[in-house]
C-alpha cells in the first residue's frame, strides 16, 4: 500500500519526537520513501544524523539553506510529497499551520503545500484543552487536515496525566495507510454498529465490577468501518481512547444501558460486538458506600447481565445481516470460540488469547482467529488497526 509513496515527515519539538525514529523505520519497511524536516526545537530531542541514517535522505532544518534554496527547496519539498505528516504536532506548530505563519522551514512547507497533511498532536493536557488550541484544531479540520490522536496517559512532566500523548507509531502508520487505501468505500451505503470497551457495574457509589478491556480494538473497528464509507454507530463503555472521527458515539456504563443503546440503533447491516460486557452485576446496588464493620466482609449477591450478543443474534425482527462476536479467552481459545458461536447464534466469532503473557488486553497488537460456519482462519499477529482493517475487508466481502 505504501510502496513508492513519498512522505514528508515534519518533526516538531517535543519529547515524543523519539517515536518518529520508529515511525520512519516502519514506513521504510513498507516501501515508502521518507524525507524529514526538523524544527529547531526538534533537534533538542533527535538529531539530523539519527533521522538521516533511517531515512537514507538528507535531513532539512533551515529555511535559508543556500544549497537547498537555490531551487526554492521549501516549495519542492512540500509539492513532491504524496502526504505530509507532522509528528509530534506541537501546540506551536498547529498554531502556525492554522493561522498561516511561515517563519521557519516547517511552517513554510505547510503553507506552500497542495497535498494532504496529517497531524499527530502532542502536548501537555492543559495546552491541549486550552481554548486557543481547540480553535486552531477546528481551523485545521475545516481546512481539510487529518488528525490522529492524541491519546491519554502519563506525561513527560512529573505527576501529569491526561489527554495529550502523541499517538503511537503504529497508530500513525495506520492513519497513513488509510489515506492511501485503494478501496476506501468498501462499505459505502452500509450501516454498521460496533460495541467497544468494558461495562461498569456499580456495587456502591464508589466501587464497581469491570474488566481490563481498553476499547482499542473496538474503536479501531469503528474507525476502519467509517474509513470504508459506512455509517457507523459506536456504543462504548468507559475507555481512555478518543472517539473515532466520523463516527456516531454513544457512551454508556452498564450492560443494560449498552443493550438498550444497541436496540435503539437497529436496524443495521452489520453488528460487531467487540465490547467485553460484564457477565454479572450485583443484585442490589448500595445507595451509600459500603463501610467496613465488625460484621466482617459483606456478601455480594450477583445476577446475570443481559447477553447482548445472543439477544441481537436471535432478534426476530431486526437481526443484522451479519453478526460478529468476540471471544476473549485464556485457554482452549478456538474450541471455546466455536462453542460460543453456536451458543450465541452469531455468524462469526473473532477469538483471541488474552492471557497476561500475551499483552493483548490493553496493548496495541492482537493475534486473532476468525471462526465461522466454514471453519477457522488463523490471522497473523498485527496491530489492532491492521486487524480492524482486515476484518472490515472480510465484512465487505461477506455483504457483497
Shortest CA distance to 220 belongs to which of 88, 376, 382? 382
Instruction: Find out whether 307 and 292 touch, Cβ atoms under 8 Å.
Output: no
> How do strand 382-383 and strand 117-121 relate by DSSP bridges?
unpaired
Is 146 annotated as ligand-binding? no
Residue 338 marked in a binding site: no
3-state secondary structure at position 295: coil
Q: Is 75 annotated as a binding residue?
A: no
Which helix (H) or strand (E) segment holds residue 68: the answer is: helix 66-69
Q: Is position 289 annotated in a ligand binding site?
A: yes
291: annotated binding-site residue? no
Q: Which of 44, 99, 211, 352 is catalytic?
A: 211
Q: Is 93 annotated as a binding residue?
A: no
Report the 3 state secondary structure along 96-137. Answer: HHHHCCCCCHHHHHHHHCCCCEEEEECCCHHHHHCHHHHHHH
CA–CA distance, 197 with 126 (Å, rounded to integer): 26
Polymer length of the chain: 400
State the Cα–Cα distance between residues 218 and 251, nearest whole angstrom.
Answer: 13
- Residue 313 half-sphere exposure toward CB, CA atoms < 13 A: 21
Residue 340 assigned as binding residue: yes
Output the nine-digit C-alpha cell for 315. 432478534
Gap between the terminal Cα atoms of the chain: 23
307 is in an annotated binding site: yes
How is residue 223 written as a grid cell?
474507525
Q: How far apart are CA 2 and CA 355, in angstroms?
A: 33
Strands 382-383 and 365-366: antiparallel
Torsion of CA 384, 388, 391, 397, to 10 degrees: -150
Q: Helices marked H in 103-254 — which ranges?
A: 105-112, 125-129, 131-142, 169-179, 216-227
* Whether residue 211 lies in the annotated active site: yes
Consult the annotation and say whether 344 binds a ligand: yes
Q: Which residues define the annotated binding site?
A: 279, 289, 306-309, 326, 340, 344
Q: Which residues define the annotated binding site for CTP?
A: 279, 289, 306-309, 326, 340, 344
- Annotated catalytic residues are 211
Amino acid at each position: 500500500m505504501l510502496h513508492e509513496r513519498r512522505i514528508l515527515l515534519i518533526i516538531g519539538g517535543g519529547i515524543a519526537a523519539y517515536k518518529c525514529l520508529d515511525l520512519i523505520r516502519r514506513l521504510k519497511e513498507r516501501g515508502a520513501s521518507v524525507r524529514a524536516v526538523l524544527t529547531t526545537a526538534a533537534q533538542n530531542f533527535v538529531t539530523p544524523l539519527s533521522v538521516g541514517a533511517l531515512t537514507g535522505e538528507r535531513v532539512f532544518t533551515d529555511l535559508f539553506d543556500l544549497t537547498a534554496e537555490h531551487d526554492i527547496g521549501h516549495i519542492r519539498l512540500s509539492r513532491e510529497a504524496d502526504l505530509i505528516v507532522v509528528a509530534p504536532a506541537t501546540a506551536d506548530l498547529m498554531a502556525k499551520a492554522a493561522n498561516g505563519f511561515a517563519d521557519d522551514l516547517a511552517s513554510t512547507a505547510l503553507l506552500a503545500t497542495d497535498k494532504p497533511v496529517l497531524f499527530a498532536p502532542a502536548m501537555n493536557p492543559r495546552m491541549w484543552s486550552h481554548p486557543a488550541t481547540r480553535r486552531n484544531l477546528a481551523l485545521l479540520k475545516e481546512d481539510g487536515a487529518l488528525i490522529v490522536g492524541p491519546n491519554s496517559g502519563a506525561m513527560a512532566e512529573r505527576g501529569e496525566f491526561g489527554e495529550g500523548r502523541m499517538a503511537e507509531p503504529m497508530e500513525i502508520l495506520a492513519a497513513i495507510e488509510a489515506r492511501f487505501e485503494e478501496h476506501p468505500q468498501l462499505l459505502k451505503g452500509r450501516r454498521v454498529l460496533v460495541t467497544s470497551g468494558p461495562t461498569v457495574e456499580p456495587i456502591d457509589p464508589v466501587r464497581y465490577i469491570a474488566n481490563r478491556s481498553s476499547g482499542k480494538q473496538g474503536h479501531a473497528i469503528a474507525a476502519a468501518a467509517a474509513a470504508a464509507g459506512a455509517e457507523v454507530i459506536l456504543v462504548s463503555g468507559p475507555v481512555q481512547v478518543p472517539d473515532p472521527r466520523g463516527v456516531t458515539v454513544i457512551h454508556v456504563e452498564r450492560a443494560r444501558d449498552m443493550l438498550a443503546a444497541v436496540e435503539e440503533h437497529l436496524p443495521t447491516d452489520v453488528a460487531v460486538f467487540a465490547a467485553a460486557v460484564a457477565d454479572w452485576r450485583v443484585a442490589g446496588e448500595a445507595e451509600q458506600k459500603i463501610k467496613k464493620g465488625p460484621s466482617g466482609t459483606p456478601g455480594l449477591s450477583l445476577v446475570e447481565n443481559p447477553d447482548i450478543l445472543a439477544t441481537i443474534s436471535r432478534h426476530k425482527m431486526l437481526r443484522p445481516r451479519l453478526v460478529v462476536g468476540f471471544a476473549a479467552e485464556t485457554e482452549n481459545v478456538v474450541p471455546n470460540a466455536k462453542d460460543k458461536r453456536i451458543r450465541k447464534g452469531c455468524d462469526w466469532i473473532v477469538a483471541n488469547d488474552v492471557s497476561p503473557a500475551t499483552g493483548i488486553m490493553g496493548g496495541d497488537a492482537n493475534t486473532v482467529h476468525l471462526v465461522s460456519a466454514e471453519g477457522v482462519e488463523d490471522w497473523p499477529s498485527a496491530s489492532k488497526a491492521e486487524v480492524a482493517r482486515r476484518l472490515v475487508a472480510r465484512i465487505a466481502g461477506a455483504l457483497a
